[in-house]
Chains A and B, each alone.
Chain A
Amino acid sequence: DAGVIQSPRHEVTEMGQEVTLRCKPISGHDYLFWYRQTMMRGLELLIYFNNNVPIDDSGMPEDRFSAKMPNASFSTLKIQPSEPRDSAVYFCASSPPGTGNAAQHFGDGTRLSIL
């Protein structure tokens, strides 16, 4: 079975540019999560969706960050304008419906470098 698919795997861009990260969750999963990982702060939850609806975006660092989930099989995380401090590995994860204690399945991440 295909896991969570993220693209691109690596992104290098200049400060001020718009960055769009993409995620395809596992088919049948109704929860989708976006995380950011840095050496300083570890793994942080940015936002999560349930049935394509954003449930909690309290982890989104500022208005430059936005996330959408137009359908059950696709989500984007956008940074506009990007800044060097946004450099990190961004992970997408999904989990299946059910009791709420299910495991989250992570993609391999997008390594973002803002110059």
Chain B
Amino acid sequence: DAKTTQPTSMDCAEGRAANLPCNHSTISGNEYVYWYRQIHSQGPQYIIHGLKNNETNEMASLIITEDRKSSTLILPHATLRDTAVYYCIVRVVYNFNKFYFGSGTKLNVKP
């Protein structure tokens, strides 16, 4: 099963775009890419997911490379409340026991 590699931490200035990379070079054709985040002392929060195409919702955009070996989560205008640990996860649909969260990226949004 595909695992992911993310930087341990990143800084971003408030109001600027935050671009969080994720490497999933061993992803297979039936695995989706999910992004969650966890704000301190809260449960993980779903952000977005995709299979091949780029996706956008009210929270973020997900850019998946054509070979699907990496992706980038974009928070267009980061705020202090976006400070959290961001998890990139790949999993096969319905394979819930393979929902591996990993260590994530700690995003620090600074004023």
List residues of A whose CB falls within 8 A of some B CB.
4, 31, 33, 42-43, 45, 48, 55-56, 58-59, 91, 93, 99-101, 103-109
Chain A binder among B6-14, B41-49, B61-69, B71-79: B41-49
Residues in chain A near residue B94, CB distance under 8 A: 100
Closest to B102 in A: A42
Most buried by B among A99, A100, A108: A100
Complex formed: what's the CA distance from A79 to B54 in Å?
Answer: 43
Residue contact A106 to B101, C-beta cutoff 8 Å: no
B103 interface residue per 8 A CB criterion: yes
- Cβ of A39 to closest chain B Cβ, rounded Å: 11
Taking beta carbons and an 8 Å cutoff, which residues of B are in contact with A?
Answer: 32, 34, 41-46, 49, 93-94, 96-97, 99, 101-103
Are B42 and A43 in contact, with the CB atoms below 8 A? no
Contact B44 A48 (CB under 8 A): no
Residues of A within 8 A of B42 (CB): 108-109
Check if A100 sits within 8 Å of B93, measured CB to CB. yes
Residues on A with beta carbons closer than 8 Å to the beta carbon of B32? 101
Contact of B101 with A104 in the complex, beta carbons under 8 Å: no
Tell me the minimal C-beta distance from A13 to chain B in angstroms. 20
Task: Report the nearest A residue to B98, measured CB to CB.
Answer: A45
**Residues of B close to A104: CB separation below 8 A:** 44, 46, 99
Q: Is the CB of B103 within 8 A of A109?
A: no
Question: Which of B43, B46, B49, B96 is close to A107, meaning CB atoms less than 8 Å apart?
Answer: B43
Docked complex Cα distance between A58 and B94 (Å): 15
